[in-house]
Amino acid sequence: MSQPSIRLGLVGLGKIACDQHLPAIAGNSRFELVAVADPTHRLDGVRGYAGLAEMLAGEAGSLDAVALCTPPAVRVSLAREAIAAGLDVLLEKPPAAAPTQAEALAQLATRAGVTLYAAWHSRESEAVEAARAWLANRSITAVHITWREDVRQWHPGQDWLLAKGGFGVFDPAINAFSILTEILPSGICVEGAQLEMPANRQSPTDAQVQMRCSTGAPIIADLSILHPGDQQWDIVVHTADGELVLRQGGHRLEIDGALRLEASNDEYPRIYRRFADLIDRRASSADASPLALVADALLLGTVTTGPDFEF
């Protein structure tokens, strides 16, 4: 027996929505894209609205779920609005601007009986799954993260990213933290950080973060969004039994220098398959542990002022 379609509204039609969400929705027969809400952009062939409130009014009774692809600063208020309307909600990463906001949303969704899915796309790589399995019973001795990219390439002109609540370098680096919290078999705490903030911005462009596993192993993260050369998204995990490396943002797994797995780039199709499964089971998945690491780094970090930054 075929399963019913999930009538979906997409909120926010920026780069990530166009590059990843729209193709994943189009490739999943469970979802029917009914409407899009965005103050400036429209999608041919799909009903468009200036915002979520207008979409909820115009599509009353015609939606089952929404995917929120807005900047994180406004995501929580939109999620509350959607939950109050009885809709299932998919949240782009990060799920909120602060861990307490994410926790409150999870509680609200539970009380309302709707699905809430905090989608950490970097966790959806098959190489991340394989890394987690390999590390499950091993003793971690040290971890080093290098997450360096060029913001002008990946977020051209997106001033919100360096505004207050925009996360800055932690917008991409939270992907590394989402992988880290998925693959390590022990808890993680932040011990300190050094943050560099442009004089004309409110979020850091560079960070060095010192963390530690609950077992005592040190974790160092070297992060930048002002890296003009080859982009680097690597996590190196030293263990008593050898070295594991996840490269290319979690798509390439190496063990002791030998390639074990090169995963295909199907993170967002997997996200929408998981969202449909959660809806079918009337379940939620709203882990906020990567967001908690970012919040602690910002809280404990020492800030230095750098030169002005312009896109």
What residues are labeled active site? 93
Tokens read off for 52? 């979520």
47 touches 38 (CB < 8 A): no
Q: Is the N-terminal amide bond of 71 cis, ω within 30° of 0? A: no
Q: Quote the strand ranges of the chain, DSSP E.
A: 6-11, 31-37, 47-49, 65-68, 88-91, 116-118, 140-148, 188-198, 206-213, 218-224, 232-239, 242-247, 252-255, 258-262, 301-306
Tokens read off for 110? 């539970």
d(CA 89, CA 65): 6
How far CA 133 is from CA of 244, 253, 260, in Å, comes to: 12, 12, 13
Question: Helices 99-112 and 75-84: crossing angle, nearest 10°?
Answer: 10
Number of neighbours of residue 45 by Cβ within 10 angstroms: 6
Tokens read off for 292? 């908690």
Q: For the residues of 79-105, what is the DSSP string, one character each?
A: HHHHHHTT-EEEEPSSSSSSHHHHHHH
d(CA 205, CA 289): 22
Number of neighbours of residue 286 by Cβ within 10 angstroms: 20
d(CA 156, CA 310): 10
